[in-house]
Amino acid sequence: MNWMENIHDWCISRQLWWGHRIPAWYHKETGEVFVGHEGPEDIENWNQDNDVLDTWFSSALWPFSTMGWPDLDNEEFKRYYPTDALVTGYDIIFFWVSRMIFQALEFTDQRPFKDVLIHGLVRAEDGRKMSKSLGNGIDPMEVIDKYGADALRFLATGSSPGQDLRYSTEKVEAVWNFANKIWNASRFALMNMDGMKYDEIDLTGEKSVADAWILTRLNETIEQVTKLSDKYEFGEVGRALYNFIWDDFCDWYIEMAKLPLYGEDEAAKKTTRSVLAYVLDNTMRLLHPLMPFITEEIWQNLPHDGESITVAAWPVADSTLTDSAKASDMKLLVDLIHAVRNIRAEVNTPMSKKVPLYIAAKDEATVQVLESNRNYIERFCNPETLEIGVGISAPGKSMSAVITGAELFLPLEGLLNIDEEIERLKKELSKWEGEVKRVQGKLSNERFVSKAPEAVVEEERAKEKDYLEKKAAVERRIEELNEI
């Protein structure tokens, strides 16, 4: 707040062709000064001041002049003033914000707002400020026509308070893809709700591990987003919602929901439909401030209560729907499925090809969790045979992975020509050795390090780290195959 200290007199007149002309008149003969809303009655004997009010003087009246001031009994003034928050860029703090504060204190004896949220600027991709003279600006209407207003809004809120944001088409396209992901997930849910009404949503039935997990994650997300919003950390709000929607809801829950939706258990179908409707309803309301158009459209087609999402209540976490135990079980399943997919990817074995899977659990409790969710393991790991137990030994010629609570084994016999795979990996190792040698040669050159721009040197160091990690990974893989 140092820009509110040591305030000096301020000349409020400007010699410009536009603006609010100063309401002061000077008598042609006596030099008397008249100031008022209207000019003197004998206006022909007076000359109005030729200057206009400083732009910041006029705009500083905004917090209260828009609410009926100077009528202090105006209903809008009494209800809304002083306001809660001002949102502005850091480049006009002194010019505008400080003037709003001291003019509000002068004319209303109250502060104009409680909080000031200072956001960064949207800059060009190279970090320079957008300007007409540089020709590096973008037309937001063109971006909206191509990608939609929601994509541009979500991108603009994606930085931390006070931090500038570099604009790029690739970033807008990424948000556009996110919007498409939301749209397609919502279409899938709506196609499978079988005409469900809002009062038919029922979360009292038996829930699968996936149902309990997504409801628990929703509660965590509601609490996180609410807390971040109260602190004006909208960039973090966007990241939290992105991760929940893309990773948890779309990539995991919707895929797992297909099992009961396409099954024969009608009770499970009803619960899954209710969970889909409930989670989407709350998620759209959380996302609405950032992406108002797509969320309104989806919400209107969901089972909902109210005329518009704009005036719908803010979501509140329901503690009765949190199930930490089942959420932990779901994490075990997710880790297991990830590990199996990674092993398959390492040996170029597609998910469509059945592979025996052995799971050595650390205890009987883990065995029970895995057995009770055997349908998910069979669906997403596609094992030829599945054996779960305590004390299972690794079969010959198998790859393994360790996760919390279990160790996995996938026999490779018949799936991989080990000699050919080792030769392929040796060629890949040679490639990374060459890249490491090249980049380390650059970095050992003192002239390059001292004269090249710091950003270029840092880029080379990042490459060195990346190449060394890839080289080490290939070496480990060759060692594993030599031991089979």
pLDDT along the chain (484 residues), means of 10: 74 85 94 93 94 88 91 93 89 83 92 89 83 83 92 84 82 94 96 91 94 97 96 92 96 95 93 96 96 96 94 96 94 93 84 89 92 94 92 75 82 69 79 91 90 89 86 75 73
What is the per-residue pLDDT for 2? Answer: 65
Record: fold of 160-322: Isoleucyl-tRNA Synthetase; Domain 1 (1.10.730)
- Give residue 417's pLDDT: 63
pLDDT reported for residue 59: 87
pLDDT tens digit sequence for 296-322: 999 999 999 999 999 999 999 999 999
The percentage of the chain sitting over the pLDDT mark of 70, rounded to a whole number, equals: 96
160-322 and 325-411 share one CATH topology? no
Q: Is the CATH number of domain 418-483 3.30.420.40? A: no
C-alpha 241/C-alpha 289 separation (Å) is: 12
The pLDDT tens digits of the residues spanning 160-186 come to: 776 888 888 889 999 999 999 999 999
How far apart (Å, rounded) are the C-alpha atoms in residues 355 and 361? 19
pLDDT digits (tens, 9 = 90+) for 318-354: 999 999 999 999 999 999 999 899 888 877 788 888 8
Q: Is 466 helix (H, G, I), strand (E, B) or coil?
A: helix
**Per-position b or e across 386-411, b if 16+ CB within 10 A of its CB:** bebeeebeeeeebbebebebbbbbbb
By the 10 Å C-beta count (0-12 exposed, 13-18 middle, 19+ buried), 294 is classed as buried
Predicted local confidence at residue 52, as pLDDT: 92
The residue ranges of DSSP E strands in 223-376, in sequence order, are: 355-361
pLDDT-above-90 percentage for the chain: 58
pTM over 0.85: no
pLDDT value of residue 391: 83
User: What's the confidence (pLDDT) of residue 405?
Assistant: 84
Residue 414's pLDDT is 63
pLDDT recorded at residue 387: 93
What pLDDT score was predicted for residue 471?
82
Q: Average pLDDT over the chain, rounded to whole?
A: 89
398-403 and 406-411 strand pairing: antiparallel
* Domain parsing of the chain, residue ranges: 2-123, 160-322, 325-411, 418-483
Torsion angle defined by CA atoms of residues 71, 73, 78 and 82, in that order, rounded to the nearest 10 degrees: 40
Which of the 8 DSSP states describes residue 350? -
Which pLDDT value is given to residue 325? 94
Cα–Cα dist 167/151, whole Å: 12
Residue 300: predicted pLDDT:
96
* Backbone dihedral angles phi then psi of residue 168, each to the nearest 5 degrees: -155, 150
The residues, any chain, with a CB within 8 Å of residue 72's CB and separated by 6 or more, are: 78, 108
**How many Å from the N-terminal Cα to the C-terminal Cα in the chain?**
68
| DSSP label at residue 218 | H
Into which CATH architecture does domain 325-411 fall?
Answer: 2-Layer Sandwich (3.30)
Residue 340 to residue 383: CA distance in whole angstroms? 10
Phi then psi for 42, rounded to 5 degrees? -95, 60
Question: pLDDT tens for residues 398-425?
Answer: 777 777 888 888 887 666 667 766 786 7
| CB contact at 8 A, 83 and 113 | yes
pLDDT at residue 5, as a whole number: 77
**Tokens at residue 265, please?**
């258990």
- Classify 2-123 by CATH class: alpha beta
